[in-house]
Amino acid sequence: MNMEAFILGCGGMMPLPYRHLTSVLLRRDGDLFLFDGGEGTQVSLKRLNLKWKKINAIFVSHTHADHVTGLPGILMLSAQVDRTEPLYIYGPPKIKEYIETSRKVLDMYINYPIIIKEISAPCIVHATNEFQIRAFPLDHTKTCVGYTLEEFDRPGEFFPQKALELGVPCGPLWSKLQKGENVLISNGKTITPEQVLGPKRSGRKFSFVTDTLYKPSIIDEVRDSDLFVCEGMFEDDLIDQAKEKKHMTASQAATIAKEANVKRMCLIHYSPRYTDKELHILLEQAQKIWPETQLSKDRMHIDIPFID
């Protein structure tokens, strides 16, 4: 079951000719989850040639223009395919007003249900029997939330030899055991999954954090992420400006990554003051603290594999 992220836009504040505004698409086993949708989101989706018109849910960090101005176009174009499943949109207060007003004023033709849920973080915003998506509060100039998608533990490795020794024949009973169910065999004995499976294996975790001041509580929320996408808007010398605008430096993002023991971090939401050639300043400062830091780039693809 694959899980992968596509960086659709990595800029903050304003788009540049070569950099769209913040947006990340997460694809997990056919489900599509969009985290923010700044200007240019559709362009990247098109250039990546992704079949994206059945996005399952959109998770909005906050209603600043650089995070939501790409959404109306996405809602309109999603009506070009037949879909009966609803599109869920989650975000802080005002997201409902923004979407509903856009729909009305732009006379959008929408042929599928849109369900908008304004959230009050911390909370679980979306859950299935395989994973959950949680929102947690950030500290910005307006209500803003971060998100994690965390998979639940998976059953351990299956040992066929043990199953055979216990008298469970190869077939449907094996898959039941692998799914964690007890099975009854012909001699009347019950075999439990623990008898034929190794220890549980951990699931994967994706975290998305932008726009915020450095806040120690973020560390616990994103702990052990396989991929941590985090704003690193400024270099160290501009920490006062970062504080005033309620943003983080790349070094602060790296401090969170280090303390939270994440496996991989991608910086995002760069200040437009940095051209692509100047982004190495942010990268070098962050890597001094957390070597597993990378710069995200528009249309970058990141695989998030299981590690065991």
Binding site for Zn ion (CB under 5 A): 12, 64, 66, 211
Quote the CA–CA distance of 220 and 222 in Å, as a whole number. Answer: 6
Quote the CA–CA distance of 219 and 217 in Å, as a whole number. Answer: 5
Quote the CA–CA distance of 38 and 14 in Å, as a whole number. Answer: 9
Quote the CA–CA distance of 185 and 290 in Å, as a whole number. Answer: 52
Q: Which is nearer to Zn ion, 251 or 271 (CB)?
A: 271
> Does an H or E element contain 114, and which?
strand 114-118
**Close Cβ partners of 74 (under 8 Å, ≥ 6 residues apart):** 34, 37, 41, 42, 45, 55, 58
Q: State in angstroms the smallest separation of the CB of 61 from Zn ion.
A: 8
| Residue 34 contacts residue 57 (beta carbons within 8 Å) | yes
Q: State in angstroms the smallest separation of the CB of 55 from Zn ion.
A: 21
Active site residue 66: yes
Give the pairing type, strands 3-9 and 301-303. Answer: antiparallel
| Residue 178 contacts residue 158 (beta carbons within 8 Å) | yes
Token code pair at residue 131: 């994973």
Q: Which is nearer to Zn ion, 212 or 255 (CB)?
A: 212
Compute and round to an integer the Cα radius of gyration of the chain.
Answer: 22
Q: State in angstroms the smallest separation of the CB of 267 from Zn ion.
A: 14
- Residue tagged active-site, from 66, 211, 226, 298: 66
Q: State in angstroms the smallest separation of the CB of 36 from Zn ion.
A: 9
Q: State in angstroms the smallest separation of the CB of 211 from Zn ion.
A: 4
Q: Which is nearer to Zn ion, 25 or 68 (CB)?
A: 68
Cα distances (angstroms) measured from residue 304 to each of 28, 74, 200: 10, 25, 19
Q: State in angstroms the smallest separation of the CB of 57 from Zn ion.
A: 21
Q: Which is nearer to Zn ion, 211 or 298 (CB)?
A: 211
Mapped to the 3 state alphabet, what secondary structure does 261-276 carry? Answer: CCCCEEEECECCCCCH
Q: Which is nearer to Zn ion, 99 or 197 (CB)?
A: 99
| Residue 87 contacts residue 115 (beta carbons within 8 Å) | yes
Q: Which is nearer to Zn ion, 245 or 299 (CB)?
A: 245
Bridge partner list, 146:
136
Catalytic residue list: 66
